[in-house]
């Protein structure tokens, strides 16, 4: 079944930065993996005839919803794998979170009717402390202390409220990094988070990590790289008093959005050329969606969206293991001489109604013989 689809973009209101006091969390040990035990403007329609969605830079909070007319409701069955490698660097400043069953992890904290998952990639710079802080405190800031909406129905109003909560969480996390004494003001991190609620896929991004969806074999980019080379980002930076020199923000930073890096930011509450405000992308998953790749720029600097999708498709045919797919992505990036740490998460979507295995039956064959051949065979049998 191929669903007919169209993009519906709803511009949303801009929000004031909320700087709420947060407890000063402590830094905990390294990587963990819990995948196992105001009026909106009229909608603008876009043709989705091409598989590859070219995203333009935007400085406003944006939601993209994919509407479809399926014959039955699709609910993905999530499984994922991840891998990280230090690459040619002296230390690994990447961190990531992978939770396939978010409802079980949160327990009774929230009661959502739909299955849920959560993933995040943090690409640190200026040292590992900012990315490590985010890995260790994201669940607290984004969920435990976030007062997220609770409802039995995951509808558009609920999803918009979820976006607002995530926006607030990004800004609170940024402020928490400013208040955390163990994190230097010259240390920062990009952040890309993915929340799956039933068939709703919410991507939030601040920086140059990237999320790419495989739909019907094609690559659809679900996040925008926030770099000074992006013309809209460059204009935003310059309008706020910043500059782009030799491809770097103020001649120093390779991204225009990040958490931390408070030495480059204006006082809390002031608009700054370097911002932690994310961009959002909301997508309705369909049966045509095969998997999602979430990776840091160490992958995307040397692999195109199409190359990464083709690689994962090939690996899934070989062993059907998203963990191996993530390892192969990082291996390919290293073989192509990436100059950075490499981290990749591969999230597979498969409907519970789909058959994971195909029963093999021995084919029934019918042979035809001429009358002459049949007579010779009968003569041979009777003669013995």
Convert the pLDDT of each residue in 118-167 to its tens digit.
999 999 999 999 999 999 999 999 999 998 887 667 788 889 999 999 99
High-pLDDT (> 90) share of the chain, %: 64
Q: Which of 226, 295, 231 is nearest to 255 (CA)?
A: 226
Q: What is the pLDDT of residue 152?
A: 61
pLDDT tier at 368, thresholds 50, 70, 90: low
Average pLDDT, the chain: 82
Taking the C-alpha atoms of residue 57 and residue 256, their distance in angstroms, rounded to an integer, is: 12
Q: What is the pLDDT of residue 72?
A: 57
Contacts of 62 (CB under 8 A, 6+ apart): 9, 11, 12, 279, 280, 281
Secondary structure in 3-state letters for 248-273: EECCCECCCECEECHHHCCCCCCCCC
Taking the C-alpha atoms of residue 125 and residue 102, their distance in angstroms, rounded to an integer, is: 28
Taking the C-alpha atoms of residue 360 and residue 40, their distance in angstroms, rounded to an integer, is: 54
Would you say 379 and 329 are in contact if contact means Cβ atoms under 8 Å apart?
no
Q: What is the pLDDT of residue 220?
A: 98
Tell me the CATH number of domain 20-356, given options 3.40.50.150, 3.60.40.10, 3.40.50.11540, 1.20.120.1200.
3.60.40.10
Query: Phi then psi for 363, rounded to 5 degrees?
Result: -65, 145
Q: What is the pLDDT of residue 367?
A: 56
The larger pLDDT score, comparing residue 58 to residue 309, is at 309
Q: What is the pLDDT of residue 358?
A: 37
Q: What is the pLDDT of residue 135?
A: 98
Would you say 278 and 166 are in contact if contact means Cβ atoms under 8 Å apart?
yes
Contacts of 208 (CB under 8 A, 6+ apart): 123, 190, 225, 226, 227, 254, 255, 297, 300
Average pLDDT over residues 217-223: 98
Q: Is the pLDDT of residue 9 over 90?
A: no
- Three-state DSSP at 52 gives coil
Q: Is the pLDDT of residue 52 over 60?
A: no
The larger pLDDT score, comparing residue 383 to residue 259, is at 259
Return the minimum-mean-pLDDT range out of 94-98, 301-305, 361-365: 361-365
Q: What is the pLDDT of residue 384?
A: 63
pLDDT tier at 361, thresholds 50, 70, 90: very low
The larger pLDDT score, comparing residue 69 to residue 318, is at 318
Burial class (CB in 10 A: 0-12, 13-18, 19+), 149: middle
Q: What is the pTM of this model?
A: 0.76
Q: Is the pLDDT of residue 21 over 60?
A: no
Would you say 48 and 9 are in contact if contact means Cβ atoms under 8 Å apart?
no
Q: Is the pLDDT of residue 23 over 90?
A: no
- Three-state DSSP at 332 gives helix
Q: Is the pLDDT of residue 264 over 70?
A: yes
Q: What is the pLDDT of residue 114?
A: 82
The larger pLDDT score, comparing residue 158 to residue 335, is at 335
How far apart, in Å, do the first and last CA atoms of the chain sit?
Answer: 58
């Amino acid at each position: 079944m191929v669903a007919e689809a169209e993009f519906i973009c709803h511009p949303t209101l801009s929000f004031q930065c909320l700087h709420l006091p947060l407890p000063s969390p402590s830094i905990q040990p390294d990587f963990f993996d819990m995948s196992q035990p105001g009026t909106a403007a009229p909608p603008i329609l876009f043709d989705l005839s091409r598989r590859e969605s070219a995203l333009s830079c935007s400085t406003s909070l944006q939601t993209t919803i994919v509407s479809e007319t399926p014959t039955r409701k699709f609910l993905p069955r999530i499984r994922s794998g991840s891998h990280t490698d230090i690459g040619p660097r002296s230390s690994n400043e990447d961190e990531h979170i992978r939770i396939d069953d978010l409802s079980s992890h949160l327990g009774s904290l929230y009661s959502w009717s739909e299955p849920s998952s959560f993933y995040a990639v943090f690409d640190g710079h200026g040292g590992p402390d900012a990315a490590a802080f985010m890995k260790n405190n994201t669940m607290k800031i984004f969920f435990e202390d976030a007062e997220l909406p609770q409802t039995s129905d995951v509808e558009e109003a609920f999803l918009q409220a979820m976006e607002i909560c995530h926006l607030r969480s990004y800004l609170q996390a940024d402020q928490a990094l400013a208040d955390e004494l163990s994190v230097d003001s010259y240390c920062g991190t990009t952040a890309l988070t993915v929340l799956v609620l039933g068939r709703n896929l919410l991507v939030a991004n601040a920086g140059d990590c990237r999320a790419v969806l495989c739909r019907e074999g094609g690559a659809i980019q679900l996040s925008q790289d926030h770099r000074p080379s992006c013309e809209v980002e460059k204009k935003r930076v310059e309008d706020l008093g910043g500059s782009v020199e030799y491809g770097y923000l103020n001649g120093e930073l390779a991204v225009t959005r990040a958490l931390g890096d408070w030495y480059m930011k204006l006082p809390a509450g002031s608009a700054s050329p370097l911002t932690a405000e994310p961009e959002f992308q909301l997508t309705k998953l369909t049966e045509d969606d095969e998997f999602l790749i979430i990776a840091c720029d160490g992958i995307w600097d040397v692999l195109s969206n199409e190359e990464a999708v083709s690689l994962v498709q090939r690996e899934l045919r070989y062993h059907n293991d998203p963990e191996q797919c993530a390892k192969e992505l990082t291996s390919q990036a290293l073989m192509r001489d990436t100059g950075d740490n490499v981290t990749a998460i591969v999230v597979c979507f498969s409907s519970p109604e789909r058959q994971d295995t195909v029963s093999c039956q021995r084919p029934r064959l019918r042979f035809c013989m001429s009358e002459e051949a049949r007579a010779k065979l009968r003569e041979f049998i009777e003669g013995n």
